[in-house]
Chains A and B, each alone.
Chain A
Amino acid sequence: MSTATRTAPARTDRPAPGAAPVAVRHVLSRIGRYVFLCAVLGFFALPLLWLATAPFDETPTITASLPRFTLDNFRALLDNPYALSSLLNSVYLAAGTAVLVVTFAALAAYALSRVRVPGRDALLYGLLLLSSIVTGTATMVPLFELAFRLNLIDSRLGVILILSGGLLPAAIFILKDFMDATPTSYEESARVFGASPLQIMRHIVVPVVRPGLATVGVWAVANVWGNFLVPFLLLRGPEKAPAAVIMYTLYTEGGQADLRLLSTFSLLYSLPVALMFVFVSSRYGFRFHGGIKR
């Protein structure tokens, strides 16, 4: 494609000699742009390259290199009593939080979109601002105190509730946009045919905003999957700890980071989220159905 665009202006420029330097400059700027893009791409691709090669290397270092192929690292990881169960723990936390966030954000966003509440936008922006604090480092002590009083220390429910609280405002914010884009005439039409509010929700609203629900669900899972601080502080033992926390324990006896386990575990840790993205995007496409745009 790039060759075609490069030759095309040269041919047309031949009758007008004054235009030739312009064409050359155009080609040069194009080359420069691609070189720059390659450099940026390389910068981001190298860590991924490490993730792809290191788990299969007998002696991985922190540089990406051609591996001497082995699967021993995976065997060693299976010997770790908490590695696989921690991935399952991550699934529990992520699924629980995603279900809570999607359910409550959908209901709240629907209400906020359809009912006139004075100062609605101020409320939403306020919540959005505060939410970054709720699960941030600054409020960890009061959150710990709260969880302690509510007897939610070392409980998955506690972690799920606190993470949900942190994610809900942004989720409501995103979903309200989807709800606003759904014409009220859909619901009114169903109402005239005699549909109950619950039927309207089930038959009309949920299917129409399904891409939005999928987006928020994926986003919630990815957030919980990567969260370290909340489960690290609230869950006491390694039995309930999610993968993000167990990653922190993968050291050799000498206190050095165990790159063999770490790289292998990193690969296993990142695969579920990547697969989920592929699945949800192929299923829902993160887009609207036709016919809504107007």
Chain B
Amino acid sequence: MSAITMRELTKVYPNGVRALDALDLEIADGEFFALLGPSGCGKTTLLRTIAGLETASGGRVHIGERDVTALPPGRRDVAMVFQDYALFPHMTVQDNIAYPLRIKKVDRRARADKAAETADELGLGALLQRRPGQLSGGQQQRVALARAMACHPQVFLLDEPLSNLDARLRLEARTFLKRLQRELGVTTVFVTHDQAEALALADRIAVMEGGRIRQVGTPTEVFRRPANTFVAGFIGSTPMNLVDAEVRDGELVVAGTRLPVPEGVQVTDGEKLTYGVRPEYLDHTAEPASGGLRGRVVVVENLGSFSLVSLDLQPADAPAGDTPGTSVQVVVPEGREPAPGDTGWVVPRPGRSLLYRDGELVTPTATPAVPAARTAAGAEQ
């Protein structure tokens, strides 16, 4: 078990693509760490560079006390689970799990014992003599995990661990994976493009874009306080509402409505900012409300226990029928949904809205008491 430290890590491909751009990152010992970002952001390259499958063009990688930058993958003491699991089709489950031990010249009997033991831990005991082609997707994934566990590496690297499973199995595997990581306590880095997966699994998340890290934090931090508009738009099953705002007379004017400037933010009159608030932190009312944004309901999407309602904002002073083209989404609990065409007001909950200047967060940390306690509890576990 070891921490992973990256300093100024850079990877430039021969075709000139800069996949990693002077990246600094520290992953703590025993941490479950997510690399999150859209495709092409460099997250898989970063994982492969930690594994040693890609050589860094610049910078260093440390695993524990060792500088592994120049070491080949086999000598870094890491295990990797590939997106397609990469189970060898001509070997049985037992031979697959025992393969790392075969490379380490462990004798046949000890190998078989270790494979059987690891398989039992993951509920694969009855499948030892099967071939990968005869297993379901979930079983294949567990075989791949067992193979990675069999050699007791210092670091687990998982490439899109859940993307090859169907939706129902994915939830099951997510819970399984989180429990397994907690029990083993091995530093684990995984790559995903699915923000929900990252939020659910990881102790900490690095959100990446264009070969750079845009924010590192706990799921609570990146969800509640995205450091920039990119993260704000990427995290959350419904992206954050980002609306243009202007400062007038020491107040924010958002789509014609005057809102107070959050505490501790220095603003100047006439300044253009971006006002961000999550759909979950907005309340919808059918009655005019002070400090509420007025809009016309255009779409209602039923998502089971709640609905996602989209409104086109209509400033109070604008003539009827004129839509400025700005829309917001709001989460409405079941049974309270408006009908499309209705006029409604959305009221931001106090302390939940964020201000961005040139795409960067300017609202200072005014962390409410509840999430702070939760973060601390999460860190202790």
Instruction: Let me know if B52 and A192 touch, CB within 8 A.
Output: yes
Chain A residues whose CB sits within 8 angstroms of the CB of B30 once the complex forms: none
Instruction: Let me know if A185 and B99 touch, CB within 8 A.
Output: no
Chain B residues whose CB sits within 8 angstroms of the CB of A203 once the complex forms: 88, 99, 102
Q: With A290-B131, A290-B134, A291-B133 in contact, do A189 and B90 touch (Cβ < 8 Å)?
A: no
- A-binding residues in B (CB < 8 A): 51-53, 72-75, 78-80, 82-84, 86-90, 99-100, 102-104, 131-134, 151
Smallest CB separation, B134 vs chain A (Å): 7
Bitwise interface map of A from 166 to 200 toward B, beta carbon under 8 Å scored 1, else 0: 00000000000000000101101111111100010
State the CA gap A186–B53 with chains docked (Å).
13
Pull 21 A–B residue pairs with CB atoms less than 8 Å apart, ordered by A.
A185-B83, A185-B84, A188-B53, A189-B80, A190-B99, A190-B103, A191-B73, A191-B74, A192-B53, A192-B79, A193-B74, A193-B103, A194-B73, A194-B74, A194-B75, A194-B100, A208-B88, A289-B89, A290-B133, A292-B89, A294-B84
Chain A residues whose CB sits within 8 angstroms of the CB of B88 once the complex forms: 186, 203-204, 207-208
Smallest CB separation, A289 vs chain B (Å): 4
How many residues on A have C-beta within 8 angstroms of the other chain's C-beta atoms? Answer: 22
Q: With A208-B90, A289-B89, A291-B132 in contact, do A189 and B82 touch (Cβ < 8 Å)?
A: yes
Q: With A289-B131, A290-B131, A291-B131 in contact, do A191 and B89 touch (Cβ < 8 Å)?
A: no
State the CA gap A111–B213 with chains docked (Å).
36
Q: Which residue of A lies closest to B76 (CB)?
A: A192
Known contacts A289-B89, A291-B133; 9 further A-B pairs (Cβ under 8 A): A183-B86, A186-B86, A194-B75, A199-B103, A203-B102, A208-B89, A208-B90, A290-B134, A291-B89
Chain A residues whose CB sits within 8 angstroms of the CB of B104 once the complex forms: 194
**Of the residues A183, A186, A192, A208, contact of B80 by C-beta under 8 Å:** A192
State the CA gap A210–B100 with chains docked (Å).
22
Chain A residues whose CB sits within 8 angstroms of the CB of B89 once the complex forms: 208, 289-292
State the CA gap A192–B134 with chains docked (Å).
25
Instruction: Let me know if B53 and A191 touch, CB within 8 A.
Output: yes
Q: With A192-B79, A193-B151 in contact, do A291 and B100 touch (Cβ < 8 Å)?
A: no
Q: With A208-B88, A208-B90 in contact, do A192 and B74 touch (Cβ < 8 Å)?
A: yes
Q: With A289-B131, A291-B89, A291-B133 in contact, do A193 and B84 touch (Cβ < 8 Å)?
A: no
Q: With A199-B103, A208-B89, A289-B133 in contact, do A192 and B84 touch (Cβ < 8 Å)?
A: no
Chain B residues whose CB sits within 8 angstroms of the CB of A188 once the complex forms: 53, 73, 80, 82, 86
A residues 184-237 near B (Cβ < 8 Å) are: 185-186, 188-195, 199, 203-204, 207-208, 210
